[in-house]
Amino acid sequence: MVRSTQQPVQSDVTTSAWTVADSVRLYDLESWGEPYFGVNARGHVLVQPRGDRGGSIDLVELVRGLQGRNLSLPMLIRFDDILEDRLERLHSAFERAIAQYDYPGRYQGVFPVKCNQQRHLVEQLIESGRRWHFGLEAGSKAELLIALSLLDDPEALLICNGYKDRRYVETAILARQLGRQPVVVIEQADEVERIIEASRDLGKAPLIGLRAKLASRGSGRWGSSVGDRAKFGLSVPDLVRTVTCLAEAGLLDALRLLHFHIGSQIADIAVLKDALQEAGQIYVELMRLGAPMGYLDVGGGLGVDYDGSRTATAASTNYSLQNYANDVVATVRDCCTPHGLPVPTLVSESGRAIASHCSLLVFDVLGCTSVPAAVPEVAPQEAVILRNLRETLAGLELDPAEASPAHLQEAWNDAIKFRDDALSAFRLGYLSLTERACAEQLTWACAQRIREHSASLGDESRPEELRQLDQVLASTYYGNLSIFRSAPDTWAIDQLFPVMPIHRLDERPTRLGQFADLTCDSDGKLARFVNKGGAKDLLELHDMRPGEPYWIGLFLGGAYQEVMGNLHNLFGCTNSVHIRLATGGAYQVDHVVKGDSTSDVLEAVEHDPEALLERLRLAGETAIASGQLQISEARRLIDHVESSLRQTTYLQS
């Protein structure tokens, strides 16, 4: 009899006890998902795009509805209400801080376009941000063009960062005549000359900002963007020299803004406080040197708590949005008021904190492999090695209470020894291929039994070697996605994103697994998961059911992932949609952006899809002529190629 040992022996007893609350706990949903993601009674992920202000969408129903509209997975779903809610939260945090600390000034933020340049998203931000005169930050000429043409609010700021040539500077100066408010931020010492010359030629000056290179320590991955060796910003001697140059050119009146940026995803609020104090003092000194000033731009870096642990670790932050706003407001006030100087309008360039939550990638699992641990039937006159393995396995059919660490360890040592014996015997020709297969299956079956028993021991009394059995026995789930396209930072900088099934959350997940993507790259995997402040290598997942889809969500990926994603193995952009909450739990599909077709990605690398097709057609004709291919077969081949060219680059289920 072949008996599967995939399921834990105790599964019958425990399945009935599993509830959606267990899933919420298991996937840490309350820590990273609040207030936007939850689970409903059907075991589906529930999206509350307006946070706690009411209204929700069943994510599984949404995906089904989108599939009904002929949009296939993988799919990026953007919730415009979440974007709006993030803006709302940012502004209310600053409003509260300003009230609490009696700050005699205001807050006026901008969105750094580099974080997500997608048109619908930028348009939505401008629309939702209009009531606060929310602006944009550009870091290149292309981004400047986006900002100039989309940002039509004359009171909103347009912060111009990045390296600037003469054309960039002139564009910004002339844009003031269009009723825009560009602030040209001097990042490099030599830019001041370009600005002075351009202003002289055009007879008009831009609003000018200075980016300071702070001496305060940085932290985390982007820590090196501050300090004396940072790539950007003016050192203190450069700041002083730049002010002198501006004064001599009669442009000191245009100097309105001081900017600093201490790197993305600031994990530790203490780092920000130091930087704020230093920048606050520089601001005061610039006023003393005669600059009118008016704006202090604290840059980006407001972090996202990806793992929900609220700690100063890479995937988290040890502060809330409100703590951040309080510190900015209080520190800047304390720098200015003792000197009797007016406080600046506070500007921040928070990208990640605004854009991360709104988009969510859903992908389907194509299949799943695991170790072949079915117990094979006993053959007549079995080799002694196989009998030994069977005995070891039989010795593991014991009451959980009898399973001591020592007994389990001994059984594992035996199993490994017998497996090695089997391998040696096979090499020497004493064991057939079938017998070797049987030996391997029995070894895996032992490993599974041992893991099941040792799981009930609790982590402390579990010997290290047995703990590794989780890894050894883990399943690989094949995801219909490319992480290089959709979550490049998981690969590039080990970024952690919450990942979990979006349905079956009322069922106990019985397996541990990792995801492999579609690329032929061994790095193409998702193998680090949120785990209460740390990270774990394996995620609890469900058994695949034949004929039933298994859908996984990758959350909080709205910042940086889209534009950093690449065409590795020619997997293109996925389909994406913009969803708005409508009344009564309904939703509205605002925009559909079709993913790249195979034609699109071929053209991206200079191939001509028509020419490729034509070549195949000719090859087909030759094969028909020589009798190797029938006309109907040639037609079928060409049909397949033509359909593939039109379709997305992902697998069709």
Ligand X SMILES: *Cc1c(COP(=O)(O)O)cnc(C)c1O
- Binding stretches for ligand X (CB under 6 A): 112, 114-115, 137, 139, 161, 261, 264-265, 299-302, 349-353, 559
Closest by alpha carbon to 147, among 166, 165, 161, 164?
A: 161
Q: Are 496 and 530 in contact (CB under 8 A)?
A: yes
Euclidean distance between the first and final Cα of the chain, in Å?
A: 34
Strands 359-369 and 534-536: unpaired
Query: Is residue 483 helix, strand or coil?
Result: helix
CB of 603 to ligand X, least distance (A): 30
- Is the peptide bond prior to 35 cis by the omega test (within 30 degrees of 0)? yes
What does the DSSP 8-state code read for residue 226?
S
The four Cα atoms 216, 217, 220, 226 give a dihedral, to 10 degrees, of 50
Task: Judge contact between 481 and 517, C-beta under 8 A.
Answer: yes
Q: Given the complex with ligand X, which of 225 and 392 has the nearer CB atom?
A: 225
DSSP, collapsed to helix, strand or coil, labels residue 452 as helix
Q: How far is the CB of 350 from ligand X (least distance, A)?
A: 4
Would you say 261 or 528 has its CB closer to ligand X?
Answer: 261
Min separation Cβ 46 and ligand X, Å: 27
Nearer to ligand X, 140 or 475 (CB): 140
Look at strands 575-581 and 587-593 and give their pairing.
antiparallel
Selection from 557, 356, 238 nearest residue 246 by Cα: 238
Nearer to ligand X among residue 20 and residue 302 (C-beta): 302
Nearer to ligand X, 298 or 385 (CB): 298
DSSP for 29-79, written as a single string:
HHHHHTTTEEE-TTS-EEE-TTGGGS--EEHHHHHHHHHHTT-PSSEEEEE
What's the burial of 412, exposed, middle or buried (CB within 10 Å: 0-12/13-18/19+)?
A: buried
For ligand X, the closer of residues 163 and 430 by Cβ is 163
Nearer to ligand X, 198 or 226 (CB): 226
Q: Cβ closer to ligand X: 352 or 485? A: 352
Phi, then psi, of 573 in degrees rounded to 5: -60, 145
In the complex with ligand X, which residue's Cβ is closer, 348 or 599? 348
* CB closer to ligand X out of 202 and 564: 564
Query: In whole angstroms, how close is the CB of 128 to ligand X at the nearest point?
Result: 18
Best CA proximity match to 210, nearest among 177, 246, 234, 244: 234
Query: How many whole angstroms separate alpha carbon 633 and alpha carbon 637?
Result: 6
| Phi, psi angle pair for 79, to nearest 5° | -105, 105
Nearer to ligand X, 183 or 353 (CB): 353
Tell the smallest beta-carbon distance from residue 553 to ligand X (Å): 22
* Cβ pair 307, 496 in contact under 8 A: yes
Q: Looking at beta carbons only, is 199 or 350 nearer to ligand X?
A: 350
Q: How far is the CB of 292 from ligand X (least distance, A)?
A: 23
Whole-angstrom distance, CA of residue 539 vs CA of residue 525: 13
Please, what is the minimum distance in Å from the beta carbon of residue 499 to ligand X? 21
User: Which among 384, 360, 359, 209 is positioned nearest to 297, based on CA atoms?
Assistant: 209
What SS3 class is residue 81?
helix
| Cβ proximity to ligand X, 8 vs 300, nearer residue | 300
Spatial CB neighbours of 250, under 8 Å, sequence gap ≥ 6: none
Residue 259 or 453 with smaller CB distance to ligand X: 259
Count CB neighbours of 142 within 10 A. 11
- 233 phi and psi, to 5 degrees? 100, 165
Q: Got the DSSP string for 293-333?
A: --EEE--S-----TTS--SSSTT--SS-HHHHHHHHHHHHH
Going by C-alpha positions, the residue among 466, 477, 397, 372 that lies closest to residue 6 is 372
Residue, CB closest to ligand X: 300
Closer residue to ligand X, CB minimum distance, 109 or 620:
109
To the nearest whole angstrom, how small is the minimum distance from the Cβ of residue 30 to ligand X? 24
Nearer to ligand X, 137 or 421 (CB): 137
Backbone angles phi, psi at 42, to 5 degrees: -80, 0
Integer Cα distance of 622 and 478 in angstroms: 38
Rounded Cα distance, 563 and 346, in Å = 29
CB 533 within 8 A of CB 267: no
Q: What is the nearest approach in angstroms of ligand X to the Cβ of residue 171?
A: 19
Q: Which helix (H) or strand (E) holds 511?
A: strand 511-516
